[in-house]
């Protein structure tokens, strides 16, 4: 009996970037893919449906892929791909999987050995860091910070010590609070920038110190916002500082491995250095 032939005519999952504001930023290739694929997976069918209507496009089928459903629809997408049907994934705006749903779906599709391709385009993080005027050779995108608790504190400390430009997404309702927390963690004189309504009619780029920006945006703010924070000035962290920080973490009941990780992130030093000091000085 002959072995069944392997189906090589499999579909592709396309990650399609859509405008973050200005409809003119959609690429010709993105429009072609969105109209030709069997399914467009999206966060909000009404919002994506409206986008397609404005672009003069019509999807064959829309499938909800938001933070609550992107894991559960993985088998459905894989089944479509196995049938040779292409699927496009879009977020409400910008590039999928960048502080938007998509990461878990991509992981599932890759794990099932199906092809994933990207249709690049608008990204609020890239737009903001290039507009900021800060160094772009090394930068990190932190996305949305945790709203409260130790996780937020640790991340703020890490940003304060970071030796590269940092990009942060924030809701207009929480912009003032986050700028205040950043000023406390990074110092009020740290240069930063706030980008509001990128690519839209009322686009605004405000640069200054964190203290100045905190004052400028202390009231009501409208529109999507991105914060860009400049790198910290290089400072040498002493062994004594590291050991003191380790002792504080261990006093909280944190296990040694966890304390090493926390201190490494908080002080911006190599984990192997913290690990060596932990075993030399504390055991």
pLDDT (tens digit, 0 to 9) for every residue of the chain, 283 residues total? Answer: 444 444 468 999 999 999 999 999 999 999 999 999 999 999 999 999 999 999 999 999 999 999 999 999 999 999 999 999 999 999 999 999 998 999 999 999 999 999 999 999 999 999 999 999 999 999 999 999 999 999 999 999 999 989 899 999 999 999 999 999 999 999 999 999 999 999 999 999 999 999 999 999 999 999 999 999 999 987 778 888 999 989 888 888 888 888 899 888 888 788 899 989 888 866 5
Domain 12-122, CATH among 3.20.190.10, 3.40.1010.10, 3.40.50.300, 3.40.190.10: 3.40.1010.10
Bridge partner list, 175: none
pLDDT tens, 203-251? 999 999 999 999 999 999 999 999 999 999 877 788 889 999 898 888 8
Burial of 241 from C-beta contacts in 10 A (0-12 / 13-18 / 19+): middle
> Which run of H or E residues covers position 56?
none
Return d(Cα 161, Cα 167) in angstroms, integer: 14
Q: Could you tell me which of 104, 97, 101 has the C-alpha nearest to residue 123?
A: 97
Distances (CA, A) of 239 to 163, 217, 269, 274, 276: 19, 39, 11, 9, 10
φ, ψ (nearest 5 deg) of residue 225: -130, 150
The CATH classification number of 125-229 equals: 3.30.950.10
Return d(Cα 193, Cα 121) in angstroms, integer: 23
Give pLDDT, residue 237.
83
């Amino acid at each position: 009996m002959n072995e069944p032939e392997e189906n090589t005519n499999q579909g592709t999952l396309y990650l399609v970037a859509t405008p973050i504001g200005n409809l003119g930023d959609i690429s010709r290739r993105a429009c072609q893919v969105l109209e030709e694929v069997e399914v467009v997976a999206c966060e909000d069918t009404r919002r994506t449906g409206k986008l397609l209507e404005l672009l003069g496009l019509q999807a064959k089928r829309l499938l909800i892929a938001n933070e609550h459903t992107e894991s559960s629809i993985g088998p459905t997408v894989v089944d479509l791909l196995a049938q040779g049907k292409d699927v496009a994934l879009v977020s409400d705006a910008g590039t999928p999987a960048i502080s938007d749903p998509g990461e878990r779906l991509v992981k599932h599709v890759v794990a099932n050995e199906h092809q994933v391709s990207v249709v690049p385009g608008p990204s609020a993080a890239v737009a903001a860091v290039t507009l900021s005027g800060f160094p772009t050779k090394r930068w990190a995108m932190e996305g949305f910070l945790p709203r409260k608790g130790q996780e937020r504190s640790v991340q703020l400390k890490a940003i304060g010590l970071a030796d590269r430009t940092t990009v942060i997404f924030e809701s207009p309702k929480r912009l003032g609070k986050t700028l205040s927390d950043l000023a406390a963690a990074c110092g009020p004189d740290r240069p930063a920038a706030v980008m509001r309504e990128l690519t839209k009619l009322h686009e605004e780029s405000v640069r200054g110190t964190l203290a100045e920006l905190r004052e400028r945006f202390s009231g009501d703010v409208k529109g999507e916002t991105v914060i860009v924070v400049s790198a910290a000035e290089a400072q040498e962290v002493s062994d004594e500082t590291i050991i003191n920080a380790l002792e504080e973490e261990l006093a909280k009941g944190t296990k040694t491995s966890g304390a090493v990780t926390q201190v490494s992130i908080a002080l911006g030093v190599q984990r192997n250095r913290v690990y060596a000091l932990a075993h030399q000085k504390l055991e």
